[in-house]
A and B are shown apart, each in its own frame.
Chain A
Amino acid sequence: MAKSNKTKGKIAFFLVGMWLLVFSLSFGVGAKTLSDDSGREVEVPSSCERIISLSPSNTEIVFALSLAEKLVGVTTYCNYPEEAKEKEKIGTLNEINLEKVVELEPDLVLASSLTPPDVVERLGSLGITVFVLDPHNINEVMEDIEKVGIIAGVEARGKELRKAMEEDIREVREKVSHLSPDERPTVFHLIWHEPLWTAGGDTFINEFITIAGGKNAVADLSGYVTLDLEEFIRRNPDIITVVENHGDAENLPYQFLLSDGRLQVLKAIQEHKVFPVDADIVSRSSARVVDAIHIFARILHPEIFGEYEYEK
């Protein structure tokens, strides 16, 4: 008994010691660390004047935090806001020109889930602060926005933006809270038609639909899935949303829905409840997730949120 107590005492002493050590390392020396979405502990740089974004959603976050003039490099896919197109290009989502990145002398590189891990490692070993953003739901997007605020030295702005987003989402939730399950339409979100490609239960799309007062027609499936055409007919959704990419001459999935004779048995098509939605807004994990929620809210409940109009 006495012996085991002694051991416990030693362990406790050891733990306290470790805690003090960690404490002194993180605060005593003055460097603050933040864990990113890939689980890396990233030291917050003392000053952050030059930022490079490695994904369109990260670029949008940087702009939303009013850090536009500090953004020195983006990917070729970064098309929002309009000013992003004028920034220096450092490559695509997964093909990054390392030389270019280093040449731009960034204080902070915001990577994404599609950034190759070896690129993150290489940049890190060159002494560049790399922060990986890979949020899996709206809450994590807001957490990430706050973290980017901290790491880029605009903590208050990040907190403010998060608060505004939370408030906005809360308002939408409140407006649909009185709806009974029967008043919540089922929604099928079509990304591509050959094969039918849709968003299942654990996706942002599912969250948008749910918050906006609807039910995802394929909420039981996980991730982004290719669906049997028969099953589409069997599930017979109340509403179909179709993504539309900028610059595509024809929205092929939309054409498919309207022109394939077999689909005319679907409720949504008979009742003209097929809506194109902006691919960039509904597929990027940025501050615009709130806009995505509003798009779905308008489509699902025009009687509450006003008529939905698609802007090309």
Chain B
Amino acid sequence: MNTKNKKGFTYFGLVALVLGSVFLSQGVGGGRYHLSQSLSLFFPSRLSPSEKVILFDIRLPRIILSFLVGGSLSLGGGALQGIFQNPLVDPYVLGISSGAALGAVIAILSGVYLGFFTIPLFAFSMALFSAFLVFYLGKIGKKFPLEVLLLAGIGVGFFFSALVSLGMFLAGEDLHQLFFWTMGGLWNSSWREVKMILPFLIVGAPTLFSFSRELNAFLLGEKVAESLGVEVEKVKKWLLFVVSLLVASSVAVSGVIGFVGLVVPHLVRLLGVRDHRHLLPFSFLLGGGVLLWADTLARTILNPVELPVGIITNLLGAPFFIYLLRKRKKSL
């Protein structure tokens, strides 16, 4: 098989995997699998009103949202690892997760209520604010040196986390609300949340894909990329901006879900894909699939008790990440 066919085969396999996952997880509810509920995707007419709500207004949007969030985080993670030429970078490196958490804390503690989207809106705004703060602090002259950006991200992240801790300490009886939010979950996902993040994905994903060649050049180091005719600083700025929007919108609807955006691009590289033209779409598809299954697990494993999906991704992601590290160490 030549490489082109192999790539095509992988695309086909991943898309089939995703569609199969959607079909299967649509049948998972109440702690067990029902084929009839999976099939309801094709024959939605013979359902009672409450079954219809459960299958098409609760379960299906949740499945779609988990796919989109997982995809966005992995796509963002893959792109950032490319820009920073650093495999340890995750989509939250620009302080987006702690910024979003701070936004949620402010929304909850201030008692501001503008409708159901209050917390996502605050989380999204603060996530973007923290990303811009990192850009501002990481800027030296007209350049964004990568290591300065990374350190600025860590600094801003720590500061916002400290404010989140302060908020939690002061929260008193509202503590559980903050606590649940920071654990990351897709509990009440509806089509509303899907509609909230879809525009960012529709614009963001193709933009990131279009920068694949530049990201490939980055693999050789910034200087080489520059000599290959890549406008390094401009590309960096655009990529970071788009990734921030993508990740901020995901965090706003799901809370902080860890490890998916860090580990999935590595999984794709493990499949032998290093070319960003394929690494990014593969990361998106695989990341979506991974979070979809993690969330299916989250709502099944203790059924009918709901587990925050962030706990599942951390529990599974962390050991897997360590395994990857050990494996890489041998090849280095």
Contacts and interface: CB of A to CB of B under 8 A. Distances in A.
A95 B113 CA distance: 30
A233 interface: yes
A192 interface: yes
Contacts of B59: 230
Interface in A114-138: none
B57 interface: yes
Given A193-B188, A226-B305, A228-B306, A233 B54 contact: yes
B87 interface: no
Given A195-B188, A230-B54, A233-B53, A249 B113 contact: yes
Interface string B274-308: 00000000000000000000000001000111111
A92 B305 CA distance: 30
Nearest to B174: A245
Interface in B156-195: 169, 172-174, 176-177, 180-181, 185, 187-188, 190
Contacts of B58: 229-230, 233, 262
A250 interface: yes
Nearest to B111: A249
Contacts of A67: none
A265 B49 contact: yes
B50 interface: yes
Contacts of A249: 111, 113
Interface in A229-272: 229-231, 233-234, 236, 245, 248-250, 252, 255-256, 259-262, 265
A68 interface: no
A201 to B, nearest CB: 13
Contacts of B180: 192, 194-195, 197, 226
Nearest to A245: B173
Given A230-B30, A233-B53, A234-B54, A260 B190 contact: yes
Contacts of B185: 194-195
Nearest to B304: A231
A182 B274 CA distance: 65
Nearest to A191: B176
A227 B176 contact: no
A226 B179 CA distance: 13
Contacts of A236: 50
B304 A259 contact: no
A228 B173 contact: no
B116 interface: yes
A262 B57 contact: yes
Interface string A205-221: 00000000000001001
Contacts of B113: 249-250, 252, 255
Interface string A144-161: 000000000000000000
Nearest to B177: A192
B30 A92 contact: no
Contacts of A227: 304-306
Contacts of B304: 218, 221, 227-228, 231
A196 to B, nearest CB: 7
Given A221-B304, A231-B304, A265 B50 contact: yes
Q: Which of A77, A228, A249, A261 counts the most B-chain CB atoms under 10 A from its CB? A: A228
A272 B305 CA distance: 26
Contacts of A95: 169
Contacts of A260: 116, 188, 190
Q: Which of B174, B185, B304 counts the most A-chain CB atoms under 10 A from its CB? A: B304
B29 interface: yes
A225 interface: yes
A279 interface: yes
A264 to B, nearest CB: 8
14 contacts: A77-B173, A192-B176, A194-B187, A221-B305, A229-B188, A230-B29, A231-B30, A231-B303, A231-B304, A233-B50, A245-B174, A256-B116, A256-B188, A262-B53
Interface of A: 76-77, 92, 95, 191-197, 218, 221, 225-231, 233-234, 236, 245, 248-250, 252, 255-256, 259-262, 265, 279
The 6 lowest CB-CB distance pairs between A and B, nearest first, are: A195-B187, A231-B304, A250-B113, A226-B306, A249-B111, A262-B57
